[in-house]
Amino acid sequence: MGILSGYNLTNNGNNLFSYDFSTDSSQIYGGPLGCKEVEPSIWGMAAGDANGDGDIDTQDKLIWETEAGTLGYKPSDFNMNEQVDNLDKDNSFIENMYLSSFIPK
Ligand SMILES: [Ca+2]
Ligand SMILES: [Ca+2]
């Protein structure tokens, strides 16, 4: 699920910008409602938005149900191990269900 920076980026010179989204949920626009703590004190994008509409909901589960048991980097291969299986559903979709992106539509 897409994310935006929570703060303006700073020009480090020569139009080079750097930004670390992972240090705190406030680094991400929408805070903890639009991102996920992927490891203790490390924040990132939430997996589970198979149709890319910015919401993790039952529509994404329908895609998972269609692709379950198949191989490849499919939209519902949420952990990106080239297999669509229960790990994708249980560890990504169910865990993140009802999160929404804060990127304006
Ligand atoms: Ca979705
Ligand atoms: Ca997978």
The CATH number of the structural domain formed by 21-96 is: 1.10.1330
**How many A from CA of 104 to the centre of ligand 2?**
28
Q: What is the pTM of this model?
A: 0.83
Report which bound ligand comes closest to the CA of 87.
2
Report which bound ligand comes closest to the CA of 88.
2
Domain boundaries, the chain: 21-96
Other CB atoms within a 10 A radius of the CB of residue 89 amount to 20
pLDDT digits (tens, 9 = 90+) for 11-31: 989 999 999 999 999 999 988
Give CA–CA dist 49/97, Å, rounded.
9
- Among residues 91, 63, 62, the alpha carbon closest in space to that of 75 is found at 63
pLDDT digits (tens, 9 = 90+) for 58-91: 999 999 999 999 999 999 999 999 999 999 999 9
Longest dimension (CA), the chain: 49
